[in-house]
Structures are given as structure tokens and as C-alpha cells.
């Protein structure tokens, strides 16, 4: 999953905003990942476009953030030089880069003003949903994807009956096209250019 530097930096800014809003809950298993998932789905539900294009992948416990450990390491190493007790929030019992700390300090920087109001609202909603659900995510995309694969999370925007209807229609169209190709003496798929 090759992503551009800009996409990587955007994902890190979103993760950092989530960590700040989760506070002590950011150390709970799956909370950062669930908030990242919920924020992306909420933004797409309410606005054209995407909160980010960073991949969300299937993990054994729910949606995960692709290359999460490396992103957290980069966030953490970027913070080390800026820590002071006067300008930091203390968060307890967190695991970052495989190290568990009783607490760590997150720089209490001003809010990231590169986010639009709609993006801030989606991130906030993602954090609130995660806290309400204890990070349990009921995702069709997660259920349907193989372990480790990128999730097509935007299918979760459709109600189950609408999704089933659209999938049945797509399958019927594929069968009709296959029959059409066979009817004119070609294989069941269109010729490749």
C-alpha cells in the first residue's frame, strides 16, 4: 500500500487529533482505530470526498489503520523534542511502538487549523461513537474482507437491504453481460485491449 507523503502526513494529523480527543481512552485496544474508521465514514456520509485516502484494513479485532505502528512511531518521535510538562497533556496506560507506558505526554498544541469545520466535526463524531460503542464496530466491509486487506468502508453507508438489492442488481448485470458475450461467440468476458 504505497501512499504519498501528503497522504501519510494527513493520516498522522488525523490520528493525533483522535489521540488528543480520546485522552485516557486512547490506550484502550482498538479505540484509535475505531475512531479513525468512524470519522472517515461520517465525513463521507455528510460531505462529498474523503476525510483522507489512507487505507483502513481488516484486523482480527475490527477496522485497523494501515501501517499504524509506523505512523504512531513517527508521531511519537516527532513529539519527543517538544515535550514539557507545562505544554503537555498527560495520558495514562498507552502502548506505542510496542512499549507500554504508565503515562506519556502529548504536546498540548493548539488545534490543527488545517482541518475544515466539517473535518473537525467528523473526527469529533468518530471519537464520540468510539467511546459510546467501546470501540465495537459493526461493519459489513470488515465482515466481507480477508484479513489484512483494505476495507471498502463506504459500502457501510448503505443500509443492509439497499446494499443487498444493489449487489443482486450488479450480479444480474454481470450475468447478462456474460450471456451477451457468449451470444456473439466470445468468451464470457470482454476482450482485453
* Distance, CA of 172 to CA of 164 (rounded, Å): 12
For the chain, where are the alpha helices, taking DSSP H only?
A: 5-22, 31-46, 68-80, 117-133, 140-144, 160-183
Number of domains comprising the chain: 2
Both 10 and 85 in a single domain? yes
Q: How far apart are the first and last CA of the chain?
A: 26
**Residue 12 corresponds to which cell in the numbers above?**
498522522
Both 90 and 101 in a single domain? yes
Both 65 and 118 in a single domain? yes
Both 112 and 173 in a single domain? no
pLDDT at 112: 60
Confidence of residue 34 (pLDDT cuts 50, 70, 90): very high
Q: Which residues contact 1 (CB under 8 A, 6 or more apart)?
A: 55, 66, 67, 150
Indicate the range of 14-23, 59-68, 73-82, 171-180 predicted with least confidence. 73-82
pLDDT at 185: 67
Task: Residue 61: name the closest of 162, 157, 176, 139 by CA.
Answer: 139
pLDDT at 104: 47
Read off the pLDDT of residues 51-91 as tens digits, 9 standing for 90 and up. 999 999 999 988 999 999 899 888 877 665 444 444 444 44
**154-165 average pLDDT score:** 81
Both 180 and 100 in a single domain? no
**Residue 161 corresponds to which cell in the numbers above?**
437491504
Confidence of residue 128 (pLDDT cuts 50, 70, 90): very high
Instruction: Give residue 32's domain range.
Output: 5-156
Both 32 and 54 in a single domain? yes
Q: Which residues contact 83 (CB under 8 A, 6 or more apart)?
A: 105, 107
| Measured CA distances, 76 to 19, 94, 100, 181 (Å) | 11, 12, 13, 56
List, in sequence order, every residue forming a beta bridge with 64; answer none if it has no partner. 57
| Measured CA distances, 52 to 14, 30, 147, 172 (Å) | 9, 19, 22, 33
* Distance, CA of 158 to CA of 165 (rounded, Å): 10
High-pLDDT (> 90) share of the chain, %: 38
pLDDT at 79: 61
Both 18 and 59 in a single domain? yes
Both 146 and 170 in a single domain? no
Amino acid at each position: 500500500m504505497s501512499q504519498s507523503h501528503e497522504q501519510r502526513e494527513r493520516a498522522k494529523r488525523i490520528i493525533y487529533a483522535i489521540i488528543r480527543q480520546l485522552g485516557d481512552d486512547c490506550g484502550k485496544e482498538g479505540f484509535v482505530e475505531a475512531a479513525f474508521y468512524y470519522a472517515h465514514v461520517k465525513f463521507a456520509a455528510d460531505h462529498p470526498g474523503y476525510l483522507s485516502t489512507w487505507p483502513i484494513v481488516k484486523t482480527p479485532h475490527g477496522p485497523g489503520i494501515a501501517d499504524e505502528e509506523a505512523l504512531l512511531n513517527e508521531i511519537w518521535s516527532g513529539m519527543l523534542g517538544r515535550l514539557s510538562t507545562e505544554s503537555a497533556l498527560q495520558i495514562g496506560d498507552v502502548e506505542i511502538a510496542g512499549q507500554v507506558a504508565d503515562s506519556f505526554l502529548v504536546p498540548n498544541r493548539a488545534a490543527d487549523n488545517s482541518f475544515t469545520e466539517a473535518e473537525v466535526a467528523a473526527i469529533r463524531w468518530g471519537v464520540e461513537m468510539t467511546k459510546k460503542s467501546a470501540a465495537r464496530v459493526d461493519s459489513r466491509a470488515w465482515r466481507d474482507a480477508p484479513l489484512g486487506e483494505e476495507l471498502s468502508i463506504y459500502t457501510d453507508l448503505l443500509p443492509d437491504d439497499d446494499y443487498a438489492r444493489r449487489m443482486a442488481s450488479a450480479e444480474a448485470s454481470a450475468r447478462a453481460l456474460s450471456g451477451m458475450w457468449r451470444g456473439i461467440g466470445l468468451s464470457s468476458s470482454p476482450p482485453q485491449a
